[in-house]
Structure 1
Amino acid sequence: MKIKKVRDLTLVDLDQDKTMVIACDSCGSIGLKDGDVLKVSPFITGKYAARVAILEVVCAGAEVICLTNTICNEMDPTGKAIIQGIEEELKEAGISEIVLTGSTEENFSTVMTGLGITAVGLVETKKLKVNNIKGEALLVALGQPKVGQEVLNTRQEEHVGYGTIKQLLQDEKVYEIIPVGSKGILYEMQELARNNRLHLTVYDHIGIDINKSAGPSTVVIAAVSANYFSKWNIAGTMVLLGKVSLEALASQ
């Protein structure tokens, strides 16, 4: 059994045909407790923390089979609300046949909301969309980077949706899909290029803040063939960021 880490993913080769994909996310100080900085319902906390881990697994081409929630608070009322939020996100993602398990803190009282999420998925190895770029690709951002209260104050269509992700996954000319987190678009583009051993070219005058946190993965980067992009038929906010290629590598 071979295990490796790529970006925020852990990949486990189960056999020649199947790969397990594992991703996680943590969330602290977001809730309704006295010590929380961002005051929102724990339902929202659970929903958006689950979104991050789910997107990581789904964007790799895998099917989520298990999701764990490690809640650092009491079950009632905080834990119950968090779990309801997780279940709502699973519903939005179209995931129903899944093991949902977790734990809560019942020994001590807490003054701040804390949550950890782990998602586990399975994929046919040949369909895994990780380090999969064929020499050159255009990089496209779908969604707008939002963090904190901005996530709640913006229209849903400004966040990339599961329907868009599923549409992209169906085309072999979409080589990789990378959820963007707190380190921003530029960081994820750099990691994508490094992991694929390609040169990154970032276009000028993009019109989007590529250094800003995208919070609960309100943005994904799609690495696509130029031919696919020329026939682009994806709904939602889209920005052409740049490209990755073999260009200039020989001189480095």
Structure 2
Amino acid sequence: MRNPRRVPPVPGRLVLGPDPIGLRQVRDLTIWGDGGLLYVVACDSNASVGELPHDFLQRPPEEAGYNASKVALMEVLATGARPFLVTNTLCGPLDDYGSRVLAGIVRALEEIGSDAPIGGSDETNMETSQTGVGVTVVGRAPVAQMRLGSSRPGDAVVCIGRPRDGVRVPYREGDADVAAPRDVLALLETEVHELLPVGSKGVAYEVGELAATVGLSVTLRTEASIDLDASAGASTCVLASLPEEAIERVRTATSLPVEVVAHLRAGPDDPMGVV
């Protein structure tokens, strides 16, 4: 069912400036701005990962909280904003087990040195037999610091990290090819123009979203060694647009694998080409 109260998307190409911005949807983000500041909201959920009887993936419940908060944090950080508020919706009681889920959220914030307060609510009316949690992150930054819509014609697009969904392709947070929020912060200090964490729809889809935000077309590099359509689960990799000549310098700035997956070009014709 279509959401009749969905926040309206940005019409056409995203352009950020000093004028106030009403509530707008940009990809998975909700943004608004006033007084020189831009506010960014991202959310994610995680379900059936934990130690309860009907959890599909039997893992410590801390992973559910960490993964849900990790995705939302990476989406906010990638824009150049910094989180100042986090809320959670715990799909179970805040008992010892529920506290372990929330500990995963705390861990994700601690890893980036954030002291953003955590609010939220839990479920005590119904008995639950699966782990579930949703996390919303609200961030802000001066408009001049924002990276949204900063990709340019001629940019290469690289995938940093590798897509892993946790089921078909198992992984653990901390693996050498799995991106984390702290990697986003480090990449913002390099020559990248724009960052976009990859989700369950895969690299090719997110490349298209990156280009559409600024009205560019895409040439996908089909000989890339990674599956461009594979789910990246809890954002195990991130896309970066950058000048071609900066790729090697970015490779030296991160321990994650870096691979060119596309190039951005001007022109609306054939918006998703392949080579």
| Same fold, TM-score > 0.5, yes or no | yes
Instruction: Give the match for residue 147 of structure 2.
Output: 129
**Which segments of structure 1 move beyond 4 Å, counting only runs of 4 or more?**
none
Whether the aligned pair in 2 keeps the contact of 1:164 and 1:234 (CA below 8 Å) is no
Same amino acid, percent of matched pairs: 30
CA deviations 1:117-165 (Å, max 9, x no partner) are 0000011111111111233310000001111244545862211234432
> What 5-or-longer segments of structure 2 have no aligned partner?
1-20
Instruction: Give the match for residue 247 of structure 2.
Output: 229
Structure 1: distance between partners of 2:175 and 2:263? 28
SS at match of 2:236: coil
Report whether the alignment pairs 1:164 with 2:183: yes
Cα shift at 1:229: 2.0
CA deviations 1:72-127 (Å, max 9, x no partner) are 101113310011111111111221x2111111111221111111100000111111
Structure 2: distance between partners of 1:161 and 1:179? 10
Point out the more displaced range, 147-156 or 135-144: 147-156
SS at match of 2:62: helix
Structure 2: distance between partners of 1:251 and 1:61? 30
Report whether the alignment pairs 1:86 with 2:105: yes
Instruction: Give the match for residue 219 of structure 1.
Output: 237
Structure 2: distance between partners of 1:240 and 1:218? 16
Cα shift at 1:12: 0.9
CA deviations 1:12-49 (Å, max 9, x no partner) are 1132x100010000112221222211111111111111
Q: Which has the higher helix share?
A: 1
> What 5-or-longer segments of structure 1 have no aligned partner?
none
SS at match of 2:193: strand
How many residues matched? 248
Instruction: Give the match for residue 240 of structure 1.
Output: 260
Instruction: Give the match for residue 205 of structure 1.
Output: 223
Report whether the alignment pairs 1:146 with 2:164: yes
What is the TM-score with the length of structure 1 in the denominator? 0.92
CA RMSD of aligned residues (A): 1.8
Point out the more displaced range, 154-163 or 22-31: 154-163
Structure 1: distance between partners of 2:261 and 2:201? 16
Point out the more displaced range, 210-219 or 133-142: 133-142
Of 69, 73, 77, the residue aligned with 1:58 is 77
Whether the aligned pair in 1 keeps the contact of 2:87 and 2:137 (CA below 8 Å) is yes
Structure 1: distance between partners of 2:129 and 2:228? 34
Structure 2: distance between partners of 1:93 and 1:153? 18
SS at match of 2:84: strand
Equivalent position amino acid for 1:9 in 2 = L
